[in-house]
Amino acid sequence: MLYGGRISLAVGVVAMLISITIGTGVGAVAGQLGGATDHTLMRITDLFLSLPQLPLLLLVVYLFRDMLKKMLGPEAGVFILIVAVIGGLRWMPVARLVRAQFLSLREKEFVEAARGLGASPLRQVIRHILPNAVGPVIVAGSLDVAAAIIAESSLSFLGLGFPPDIPTWGRILYDAKDNLDFAPHWALFPGTAIFLTVLSINYIGDGLRDALDPRKVLGAK
What are the residue ranges spanned by the domains of the chain?
Answer: 2-220
Q: What is the percent of the chain where pLDDT is above 90? A: 4
pTM of the predicted model as reported, rounded to 2 decimal places = 0.80
Provide the pLDDT confidence category of residue 218 given band limits of 50, 70 and 90.
Answer: very low
Q: What is the pLDDT of residues 163-181, one digit of tens each?
A: 777 777 778 887 777 777 7
Q: What is the pLDDT of residues 22-41, one digit of tens each?
A: 998 998 898 888 888 889 99
Q: What is the pLDDT of residues 126-148, one digit of tens each?
A: 887 888 777 778 878 888 888 88
Half-sphere exposure of residue 177: CA atoms within 13 angstroms, side-chain side: 9
- CA dist 101 and 60 (Å) reads 32
Asked whether residue 150 carries a pLDDT value surpassing 50, the answer given is yes
Residue-averaged pLDDT of the chain: 80
Q: How many CB atoms lie within 10 A of CB 117?
A: 8
- CA dist 90 and 88 (Å) reads 6
Q: What is the DSSP letter of 128?
A: I
80 in helix, strand or coil?
Answer: helix
Q: What is the DSSP letter of 73?
A: -
Mean pLDDT for the stretch of residues 97-111: 84
Fold of 2-220: MetI-like fold (1.10.3720)
Mean pLDDT for the stretch of residues 180-187: 73
Provide the pLDDT confidence category of residue 217 given band limits of 50, 70 and 90.
Answer: very low
Burial of 214 (0-12, 13-18, 19+ CB in 10 A): exposed
Provide the pLDDT confidence category of residue 2 given band limits of 50, 70 and 90.
Answer: low
